Amino acid sequence: MGLDLLPRTCPCPKHGALTAPEGLTHAEDATCPFDTDDFPKRMLGTCCSIDGKTISRELEALGEHELADRVYADMTHEEALAFAQELRDAVERLERAHGSKKRKPKGAGFNGHFDRDKREVVWSKYSTFEEALAAIRQAIAWYEKTSTLGFGVDAWA
């Protein structure tokens, strides 16, 4: 199962007047405000979206289970901005806890296969601690930008 995080029109009275096609923050013929951000996309994402699955998996790998689960939640623009701050706090907490250690925790696994004997997915590679934090920082920037533009979040799984 994938997870695309897409901007959505915020239902609040303050931003309810903003309109854009589904999954976008702009008219289809207008320049995308995310063009220069290079956020990672999933196969069904839009120019304004970000890959939420990777963010959730990196948070999970670093022990931030509650935040990892919340990536799957739809949000208003206020909730998205608050969530960006919670992610920032988590990154700072993780850096304080592990940044100076020689052996840092691994990020999410990838290139996995199902091991029938172990009855679980076995990963051949893992992202580094720094790569995991970089992915979370990209999410912070995406949530903040989406919110600042007056849009909420549609977590499309």
C-alpha–C-alpha distance, residues 43 and 37, integer Å: 17
**Per-residue CA distances from 140 to 39, 86, 103 (Å):** 11, 9, 25
Residue 19 confidence class, pLDDT cut points 50, 70, 90: confident
DSSP 64: -
Instruction: Tell me the mean pLDDT in the region 33-43.
Output: 92
78-91 pLDDT, tens digit each:
999 999 999 999 99
Give the pLDDT confidence score for residue 130 in this predicted structure: 97
According to the model, what pLDDT value does residue 143 have? 98
pLDDT of residue 17: 60
Once rounded to an integer, what is the mean pLDDT over residues 48-66?
Answer: 97
Place of tokens 């303050």: 14
Residue 88: which of 51, 131, 137 has the closest Cα?
137
Query: Alpha carbon 125 to chain centroid distance?
Result: 21
Query: Of the ranges 52-56, 117-121, 135-139, which one carries the lowest mean pLDDT score?
Result: 117-121
